[in-house]
Each structure stands twice: as C-alpha cells, then as structure tokens.
Amino acid sequence: MTLYFTEPIDDPLTGAEDFDCGVESLNDWLRGPAIGVERAGLGRTHLWRNETRVVAYITLAPHDVRQEGVASRNRYGKRDRPVPGYLLARLALDKELHGQGLGTRLLTQALELVAEASQRAAGRLLVVDAIDDRAAEFYRAHGFKDMRAVADDRPQRLYRPIADIIADVT
C-alpha cells in the first residue's frame, strides 16, 4: 500500500495542480481560498501527499452549533447559548483513490485531530455539511447523526458528539 504523508497546508501551496476529487468546488477551494483561510486562522487544512502531489485533504475549524438542532444530551445551559464544537469544513480524496477505503482512513484522521483538539480546547460536537446525499450516507455510516431541521441550517448537516469520537479513537 502506498504511504501518504500528512502535513499542514504549505504557502504557497504546491502539488495540488492535478488534484481532482470529482467535485469541482472542493478542487477549486483547495487551490484558492484554503491558503487565505489558513492565514486568517479560520481553519486548519491538513494534506495527504504521496511523493509528488496532494492526494487528499481535510479542513477543520472551530464552530458554534445552535442547540435546537442536536439531541438534548448534547446541549448545555440556556437554549439560546450555542454549543461549542468543530466543523469538518472539507474532506476530499482524489478520485483515483476512491473505492479503496481511504476515505474512511481520512475521516478517521480528522476524528483523531478533533479528539486531540477537544482535549486542549474543549468542544462538545463535530458537525459536517455533507455536499450531497452520497456524502451524507458516508458520514451516517461513520456514526454521524442528522441534525433536526433548523431554519438556517443546511439540509445535509450532520453531527457527532465529541465524547463518542474520543471513545472510538482511543
């Protein structure tokens, strides 16, 4: 099996010219706004590389979640207070690597990073806005639950409690 090296996004970004996960908006985001998001401290992007190029990436960001969308056991305090957590803002794997179980490995790495971050800076939930039905099913298969509909939430928003993530990755 090929080894993939994980590293933070570099500035300027190198090796992403041929990255193609099959979703143009994810390809464009990596080659465009990703560096600006990193510089601004709004999210952290972690790259998978082989010897020559980027083959996958994940982006994580701090995030506040409206309490109305989550199960009562994951809420705290007053209902108008947001739940602190993290956003899995992007997860993309080059389409040449699809179907090999690497998406699950990439997600596992994201979960490990969130578990580690929550030990240093707290947080109760990890949320993700699935890009389509297929992605939503992928996340559900990995323990994510649908958020109840809230007027301004995206229809494919899912979440997973940090306590469950920690139990799974430790």
- For the question of residue 139 being annotated catalytic, the response is yes
Check if the beta carbon of residue 16 is closer than 8 Å to that of residue 29.
no
Helices (H), the chain: 24-31, 33-39, 102-121, 133-141, 162-169
Which residue among 57, 86, 139, 159 is the active-site one? 139
Q: How many other C-beta atoms can be found within 10 angstroms of the C-beta atom of residue 37?
A: 19
Neighbouring C-beta atoms of residue 165, cutoff 10 Å: 21
DSSP state of 142: T
Phi-psi map region of 143: left, alpha, beta (phi>0 left; psi -120 to 50 alpha): left
Q: Indicate which residues carry an active-site annotation.
A: 139
